[in-house]
């Protein structure tokens, strides 16, 4: 799979590193000559010094053969033009854009950019979900599920040592009908949970569930929420 990235700042460089680790072929376009030299010296990729919003520069990066074009510069106008050129002139299947001003997000979406990422909105939504989930562990929520009007969420639960479901087979765990365990991570390995899968301490479970069922599922996997009692020191732990 071939990916063209426009923008060699912190986001672009991090993306290059992660995509290369995953075995993707990557080309990067950057206007700043020093950044180009720095990236070219660190990574074995095609690095082009130029304006990614220029047709000829995109063409020289092999955009016509790209599976994805990702524009992550600090300039929304550039990111928009890059993705539009990729879509219209080079027939790229998928375009992704960073949006720095959240007021531009709806415009990008309406005009055909496939995926739009606004840092401000992403951070605020993650903080909101973290507060909402409380003791769920850090929740990963697919962006389309993050909309407050959505009836469903994808959440992550970490199995504690005192879980009511510890050492039980999934077939024995009575989950609500509209709560589905879609994956389990154990020792950095992803497992699809089946009826005979046994739940162990420190397992990380991902669920698709109706938002109204969050507390019920948490009580099944984590246990009922018990606020610490000042009168019972056994319930209080210190580091």
In a domain, 236, yes or no: no
- Cβ distance 190 to 184 under 8 Å? yes
Backbone angles phi, psi at 152, to 5 degrees: -125, 155
β strands within 93-226, DSSP E: 94-99, 115-118, 152-158, 179-186, 189-191, 204-210
Q: Indicate whether 79 and 146 sit together in one domain.
A: no
Q: What percent of the chain has pLDDT over 70?
A: 83
> pLDDT for 198-213, tens place per residue?
999 999 999 988 889 9
Q: Which residue has the tokens 């996997």?
A: 221
- CATH code for position 108: 3.40.50.720
Residues 6+ apart with CB under 8 A from 94: 67, 68, 69, 114, 115
Question: Domain check: are 105 and 188 in the same one?
Answer: no
Whether residues 44 and 83 share a domain: the answer is yes
Same domain, yes or no: 132 and 112:
no
For residue 41, pLDDT over 90 is answered with yes
Each residue of 23-38: pLDDT tens digit?
999 999 999 999 999 9
Q: How confident is the model at residue 132 (pLDDT cuts 50, 70, 90)?
A: low
CATH number of the domain where residue 173 is located: 3.30.70.1450
Of the pLDDT bands very low, low, confident and very high (cuts 50, 70, 90), residue 143 is: very low
pTM: 0.61
Q: Are residues 151 and 72 in the same domain?
A: no
Going by the DSSP 8-state scheme, the letter that residue 50 receives in this structure is: S
Together in a domain, 11 and 111: yes
Domain count, the chain: 2
Does 209 lie in the same domain as 158? yes
57 and 96 in a common domain = yes
Given this model, what pLDDT does residue 237 score? 35
Its domain, for residue 34, covers 2-117
Using one digit for the tens of pLDDT, what is the confidence trace for 73-129?
A: 999 999 999 999 999 999 999 999 999 998 998 999 899 999 999 877 777 766 666
Q: Both 138 and 75 in a single domain? A: no
């Amino acid at each position: 799979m071939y990916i063209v990235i426009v923008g060699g700042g912190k986001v672009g460089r991090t993306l290059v590193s992660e995509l290369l680790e995953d075995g993707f072929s990557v080309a990067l376009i950057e206007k700043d000559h020093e950044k180009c030299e720095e990236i070219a010296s660190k990574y074995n990729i095609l690095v082009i010094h130029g304006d990614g919003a220029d047709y000829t520069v995109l063409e020289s990066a092999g955009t016509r053969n790209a599976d994805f074009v990702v524009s992550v510069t600090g300039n929304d106008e550039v990111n928009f033009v890059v993705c539009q050129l990729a879509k219209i002139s080079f027939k790229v299947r998928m375009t992704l854009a960073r949006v720095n001003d959240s007021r531009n997000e709806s415009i990008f979406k309406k005009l055909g950019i496939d995926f739009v990422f606004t840092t401000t909105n992403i951070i605020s939504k993650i903080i909101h979900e973290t507060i909402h989930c409380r003791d769920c562990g850090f929740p990963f929520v697919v962006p389309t599920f993050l909309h407050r009007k959505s009836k469903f969420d994808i959440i992550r639960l970490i199995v504690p040592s005192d879980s009511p479901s510890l050492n039980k087979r999934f077939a024995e765990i009575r989950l609500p009908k509209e709560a589905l365990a879609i994956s389990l991570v154990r020792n950095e390995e992803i497992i699809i949970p089946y009826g005979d899968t046994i739940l162990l301490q420190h397992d990380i479970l991902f669920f698709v569930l109706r938002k109204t069922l969050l507390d019920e599922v948490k009580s099944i996997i984590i246990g009922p929420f018990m606020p610490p009692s000042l009168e019972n020191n056994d319930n209080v732990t210190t580091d």
